[in-house]
Amino acid sequence: MFADPTGGGATAFAAVFAALYAAHQVADHWVQTQHQADCKSEPGWAGRIACAAHVVTYTATAGIALTVLILATGLRLDPWGVAVGLAVSAVSHYIADRRTPLRRLAELLGKDPHWLARGGGMYALDQSWHTGWLFLAALFCAA
């Protein structure tokens, strides 16, 4: 996937993943408004709009992080790869934060309902879902 046989591609991937992961932490825990956090999984248009608003600020935070990375290091990334990577991140983030798809997947995999509801299970599944998709997003961005 990477054209640079000297390891530059792997270095770019590592830098991009670190930037996206840092942006994820900031956007999900600091940038997201309380209203977005409270309403993004609600049914209907109010929930969809709150989730979309969160994903917009989340994606903007990722874009800022990548811009800072590029300016600070001189890293060159293909704009189309970055666009695809950010789209992968945004779509997967929206799916997870609507909650129903993750809950259904967790139930299908036999996750304990008590752990999901009160043991931090949904948060753990949410964050691990995001991290896995950030890995794929970083591959696109750095390709």
Q: What residues does each domain of the chain span?
A: 8-98+130-142
pLDDT in tens, the chain (143 residues): 444 434 468 999 999 999 999 999 999 999 999 999 999 999 999 999 999 999 999 999 999 999 999 999 999 999 999 999 999 999 999 999 999 999 899 999 998 888 888 888 889 999 999 999 999 999 999 98
Query: What is the CB neighbour count within 10 angstroms for residue 67?
Result: 12
Residue 2's pLDDT is: 43
Burial of 58: CB neighbours in 10 Å, binned 0-12, 13-18, 19+: buried
The pTM (predicted TM-score) of the whole model is 0.90
Are the beta carbons of 20 and 89 closer than 8 angstroms?
yes
Query: What is the CB neighbour count within 10 angstroms for residue 1?
Result: 8
pLDDT in tens, 28-45: 999 999 999 999 999 999
Count of positions (residues) in the chain: 143
Residue 62's pLDDT is: 98
Q: Name the phi and psi angles at 40, rounded to 5.
A: -60, -20
At which residue do the structure tokens 């890293």 appear?
A: 75
Using the 8-state DSSP alphabet, how is residue 6 labeled?
Answer: T
